[in-house]
Each structure stands twice: as structure tokens, then as C-alpha cells.
Amino acid sequence: MNNIIGQNIIRFIILVLVQVSILNHINFLGDINPYLYVLFIVLFPLRNNRLAFISIAFFLGISVDMFSDTGGIHAGASVFIAYIRPLITKFSFGTLNEFHSVKFNNIDFIKRITYIIIIVFFHHLMLFSLEYFSLTHIITILKHTLLSGLFTAILILLTTIIFSNKSK
């Protein structure tokens, strides 16, 4: 149990630092950045205390916000996906009970991709809606959601694959 908590704390710190010092400055094609820190929410243990999970997601978002001067947009988006994650897991993995004890990387590949893509999509949609905060920019919001989302999803998938091989 301690092992899992320590692992998550280290993952939290590393993801925030990587996000603010490297990934926020990629600006691919002008303004497309991946938001890899979502990986923390993706990989958070499936069996968890929901209140703690939502609070931790809020702190994750607010840390990124603090570094990038964006008010509370990352916090809002992170809290939102942390709240709806049970619905997403139910949708992408079917009934949950059997998956509580299974490791994330042992889950069927297609199911894993669906799960990552849905989480990233909702996170980015909420993120850019909060950032632009106006309906007149709806096209820009959708464009950013799709392009940045694709970038993030690929990066998350690669990271999970690379780090799963190492730990075996």
C-alpha cells in the first residue's frame, strides 16, 4: 500500500515538472501543446477513495495552473474528469469488479486506447472551453481539443508502453 502511495507522489511531482518545464513550451505548429499530466489521472488506482481522488486531481491541476498563469483552467478540467472517471471506466472496461485487482497494462489494448482517448477528449474540451470562455470561439476550442488531444493521447500511450516494459 505504501508502495502505491509513494509511487503516486513521485509520479505527481515528475509529471508536473515535465509538463511546466518542457511540454508547455513545445508549441507544435504554433500553439499545440500536449498535456501529459493527465496521465496521473489515467493511471490513478481504479480502487480508490473518491473524495481523495477528486481532491488530488484538483491539486494536480492547480499546480500546473500556478506555473502557467492560467487561473484555474487546468484545475477545473482535472476535477471534471476525476469526477466522471467512474462512468468512463464503466463504459470502456465494462463491469468493473474483475478489473479492480488487475494491473493497468494487462488490460486489453483496444479497451485501454478507448479509455485514454475518452478521458483526454473530455479533459481538453473542458480545458479549452474554460480558457477561451466564450461561445464565439467554439470552432477554435474544437480545433484545439482535437489537435492537442491527439498529441496528448499518443504521448500518454507511448509513455505507458515504455514504462510498462521497464518495470517487468
Partner 1 sequence: MQQIVNFFLRNKATLLFLLLFGLSLMFTIQSHSFQRSQFIHSANFLSGGVYNTTNNISKYFDLIEENNKLQEENSKLRALVFNSASISDHSFIDSTYYTKNYKVTPAIIINNSYEKANNTLLINKGIQDSLESDLAVISSKGIVGITRNLNSKYATVISILNTTISISAKLKQTNHFGSINWNTKNPNYVQLTQMPKIAPLKKGDTIVTSGKSSIFPKNIPVGIIEGFKLDNAENFYIINIKLFNDMTSLDHVYIIKNQNKKLINELIDLENE
Residues found near partner 1 in the complex (CB under 8 A): 17, 20-21, 24, 27, 30-33, 50-51, 54-55, 58, 61-62, 65-73, 75-76, 79-80, 82-83, 130-133, 137, 140
Closer to partner 1 at the Cβ: 27 or 97? 27
84/117 with CB nearer partner 1 = 84
Based on CB atoms, which residue is closest to partner 1, 44 or 112?
44
Whose Cβ is closer to partner 1: residue 73's or residue 118's?
73
Nearest approach in angstroms of CB 120 to partner 1 is 18
> Nearer to partner 1 by C-beta: 107 or 147?
147
Give the shortest CB-71-to-partner 1 separation in angstroms: 3
Contacts 24+ apart (CB under 8 A), 157-160: 157/112, 157/113, 157/116, 159/36, 159/39, 160/39, 160/42, 160/43, 160/104, 160/105, 160/112
Residue closest to 57 by CA, chosen among 141, 104, 127, 158: 127
- DSSP characters over 77-105: HHHHHHHHHHHHHHHHHSSSGGGSSS-GG
**CA angle (79 as vertex; 14, 112 as ends), nearest 5:** 70
What one-letter code names the amino acid at 112? R
Q: How many separate helices (H) and strands (E) can be counted in the chain?
A: 6, 0
**Least Å from the CB of residue 89 to partner 1:** 15
* φ, ψ (nearest 5 deg) of residue 32: -105, 120
- Minimum distance, C-beta of residue 74 to partner 1, in the bound complex (Å): 8
Residue 25 beta carbon to partner 1: minimum distance, rounded to whole angstroms: 8
> How far is C-alpha 141 from the geometric centre of its chain's CA atoms?
18
